Structures are given as structure tokens and as C-alpha cells.
Structure 1
């Protein structure tokens, strides 16, 4: 009898240890890469991080690359340095992913920067959900049309002028198994002049599965849609 009780106790102890270990490691969820926008910082994602952690994610499953100048927005473009920071985050996220897959959420210029990084790494097959928040895959009217663009790196050949080589390089490609956009028609950055580029809202992602519209400003789209962002990567 004593031996039997001892065996049961050992079994229960082992089961408890397994549960505790699983709890400390978190659920097996896709790692998430969150790419901030021009002259912004990873703190833009604080609300998203809080929401994801409330749904079971650990800090170790969230990757927040910190790229670009914070004081000179016009000097930032999709150069190899900025793209390299994002590529490193994508590679680290894939390398430690328990599912073998990742999810990517970009805001503003972080959307096209993430697209370029995914293209260069040939990582589209590694991304489950790609979410573009207030992005400009079609370019910005405020930058003009390349090569008659506003004379700044952000609006140049490697920037967000309409039909720039950068914009052409990120159009019509896959960035994940599922692709979504979150956008606004009152976006004070993206919609200067008009939200439309060649008949489409520039924040739409080509071949997207769905797009979600909110009556929010450019930065509110990142900070006030966290439940939708989380829903899309967990569905």
C-alpha cells in the first residue's frame, strides 16, 4: 500500500512539475515581430504588447526592432541599415519560434520596411499573419510621383513616393499566409491630399484577406486597435 501511494505521489508531482514548466514557458504561439514607423520607437507598441501578454504571450515571444533616426523623419528611408535591423528581428523570431512560424505587424513606414525585409529574406512562407497598420504600400500623395518626388530620402527612390523603385518592389507580393490591413479615412499622415493612390486606399495590402476601417488618426490606429491586431494573429 505504501509503495502504491508513493508511486501515485511521484506521478502527481511529475505532472505538477510539467504543468509548472509549461506555464513558465508560455503557450506555443507564433513569435511576433512589431515594426514601428518613421521616427517612432518600439514604445508605440506598448498597448499591443500589453494585450498580447494578457492573451498568453511572453516577452520572449515578442520582437521589437528599433530602427531609424528619431529626430529627422525626412532622413529615414528603406536603406540597408534600417532594413537590416528588421531582418535581424525576423531572423531571431523565426529561430526561436516553437511553431516554426511568426506573425508580423507593421505601423506606418514600418509596414513597407517589414515588406522589404521579408522579401530580402524570402520569409513569406515563414509568416502566418501579416498586418499592415496605417501603411503606404501604394506610396504617399504627399511625397509626389517618382521621379518628380519631394526631395528627401523618405520620399525618394528608396522611399514612399508613388511609383518609386521601393514601392514597385513591394507591390503585388505575398508577405504571409494571411494578410490584413488596418486603416483610416481620416489618417492625418497617410491621407494628406488624398487616401487614394490609383483608386485604392494606400494602406490596403495587395491581395489582403480583409481590411478594417477605424475613425482614428494615424497613431491611434496602432495604439487603439490592439484587440483586432491580437484577434488577427490568433485566429
Structure 2
């Protein structure tokens, strides 16, 4: 082989290598939805691990939603919805696989579930993971329509049997649904029980799997980044 042929071969390899690399990193875009009065930074451990495992920043969508200073002011209606809905739409539109994965923490889990339902986008979600969500409501929010004085606990909130939660009941939020729960969650189990009508409030009816951890509400998000990654990469 002549020197010219070798140089041409090397040039071809250099030109092809970005294409090969691009295909190697074609993964589902990921939407990360923080909880009530939280921020995208709550998912920093998850983001760091995603970036270390082949994801790029353009494949990670972490919308900021709600009033960060007033937990009682936030619900699942109106302005809280828009950033999450936009993130899901953008993630789907730019996904190289045509699908996305969604991870929600606390109230962000039910908010993400609502937007997926409204967008009729469950078929585009490969994995939906709810971490420390309250899919069956919170006793601290009362049983609708009683003792639901704040927006967070009202008809668009987390009171037990609220219209919002009843509307999510029986819906699918992805091809596969998982939950991370805790029996020592100081928020979801604040009244001394995590059970609502016999089931852990953080579980989803019809889910594909649930894992219990000995962590408190925020630890359940911070300390499980590796398990989050494992689920969406399975």
C-alpha cells in the first residue's frame, strides 16, 4: 500500500469517527422534574452520573417550576405545568431515539405524570420513575374536599382522592413504570403511616417495579443516582 493510500485511509477513519461516536451516544433524552419548592440542582448527582456515562447536556432537560419560596402556593395547574410540559415536548422533539425517560421527585413525579397524560405522550416515554411521589395523596393534605385549605392540597393538589389524583388513577405514564419509596419518608409518612387505603402513597397502580430504601424524602433522590441510571439504561 502506498503512502498516499495510507493517508487517504487515515483521513477516512478520522472523518467517520465522529459519526461512529454519535451513534454510540444515541440514548433517550432524559427529563428530570424536581419537587415542590425544589430546583433543578436537586438532581445534580443524577446529572453528574448521566454526563459520566455518555449523555450530553443537550440530552438532559431539567425544568424549573413553581414558587420556590411558598410550598403552599404550588399545585398541578396553570403556571406550574408550563415549564414541565415544554421540557417534555422539547425532549421528545430532539430525541435521537424518538423516546425519552422521565424521572420525577416528590410533587414533580405527579406533575410529570399529569403532563405526560395531557400530552398523550406515554408511548414516547420508555421509563417513568417516580421518586418519593404521592400518587395516592397525603394525609397531611386531608381527604378531598375536607381540610384542603392550601393550593397544594386542593382540587389540583395532593389531598387524598383529589380530582387531580383521581384523574391520574389507572393511567400509564410510560412503557415501564417504576417507583422508589421509603417507609421513613418524613414528608409522605408524616402522620405516622405511609399507607393510603392499604398501599404506599409513593407507588403507582400497575407499576412494573418498586424499590424501598431506608432514606428520608430528599435522600431518596440524592442517594439513588446509580439506581436511577441503571433503570433508564436497562
The correspondence for 2:94, drawn from 75, 93, 96, is 96
Q: Aligned in 2, Cα 1:15/1:149: closer, same or farther, shift over 3 Å?
A: farther
Please report the TM-score for the alignment, with normalisation by the length of structure 2: 0.96
Post-superposition Cα deviations, 1:69-118, rounded to whole Å, max 9, x if no partner, equal: 01000000001211111010001000110000000000000000001100
RMSD: 1.4
Partner-residue secondary structure (3-state), 2:128: strand
Give the equivalent residue in structure 2 for 1:130.
128
Please report the TM-score for the alignment, with normalisation by the length of structure 1: 0.95
1:26/1:58 contact within 8 Å kept: no
Please give the alpha-carbon distance, in whole angstroms, between the structure 2 residues aligned to 1:134 and 1:164. Answer: 18
Q: State whether structure 2 residue 169 is matched by structure 1 residue 171.
A: yes
Please give the alpha-carbon distance, in whole angstroms, between the structure 2 residues aligned to 1:26 and 1:78. Answer: 37
The correspondence for 2:149, drawn from 151, 154, 167, is 151
Counting matched residue pairs gives 233
Post-superposition Cα deviations, 1:2-54, rounded to whole Å, max 9, x if no partner, equal: 3xx42332232222232245547860000000000000000000000011111
How far did 1:55 drift?
1.1
Q: State whether structure 2 residue 112 is matched by structure 1 residue 118.
A: no
Please give the alpha-carbon distance, in whole angstroms, between the structure 1 residues aligned to 2:13 and 2:124. Answer: 33
Please give the alpha-carbon distance, in whole angstroms, between the structure 1 residues aligned to 2:23 and 2:138. Answer: 42
The correspondence for 2:14, drawn from 16, 36, 41, is 16
Please give the alpha-carbon distance, in whole angstroms, between the structure 2 residues aligned to 1:195 and 1:143. Answer: 13
